[in-house]
Amino acid sequence: MNRTTARRTTGLAALALTLSMGLAACGGDSDTGAASDGGSSMSSSPSMSESMSPSDDMSSGSSADPAAQTFGPGCSAIPATGGGSFDGMATEPVATAASANPLLKTLVTAVTKAGLVDTLNGADGITVFAPTDDAFAKIPTKTLNGVLKDKKTLTSILTHHVVAGQLAPDQLAGSHETLNGDTITVMGSGEDFTVGKEKAHVLCGNIPTANATVYVIDTVLMP
């Protein structure tokens, strides 16, 4: 195991521990509809910030132009200005950045209901595969509404979209352990990638936020 892989593994374990502590604090309230405050005590966890250093895994977050290294056919749908633009997202932690992006409204609703806002915002160096609203629309409405009310299932699905380390495009292909404790496999190269057994396509990739790298995808990934 090389140094970068070891750091990612340690960081993922720390983030998973933080998540489990937050879920334990929430008790058994699995069907609550609003969890915007869930995990508020997690955002300043010393173990998370100390063990998840993005220094070896940064993709383009330090670029003077956040849009310079992004790629994909969906990037043209990102707003040119404002909080949901590449410039706006680059200055905010990932959950906050996503909340300003008009393509990710359903994802943000799901993250809020699962109580993961502070967990994701407080993480230091992660990659998030972010399904668009159209991706969630592929799920039957009754099924989606049921999942949004089931915090345990919702958390499992959402954390399946998060891996440790800020993966650049040349690090993307391969199998990656998720915050859910399972793995996802990314296939492809260059600017053409599919993610998971669903073969979700990357619509816009390598989007930097203050603490994460985001790959917008066209299908929700299932554990």
Domains, the chain, with CATH or none: 3-25+34-40+57-217 (2.30.180.10)
CA 129 vs. chain centroid, Å, equals 5
| 186 class by beta-carbon count within 10 Å (0-12 exposed, 13-18 middle, 19+ buried) | buried
pTM: 0.77
Q: What is the DSSP letter of 73?
A: G
- Of the two residues 45 and 172, the one the predictor is more confident about is 172
Give the pLDDT confidence of 30-73 residue by residue, as tens digits: 443 333 333 333 333 333 333 334 434 444 444 579 999 999 99
The strand order across the sheet containing 174-177 reads: 162-164, 126-131, 212-217, 200-208, 192-195, 183-189, 174-177
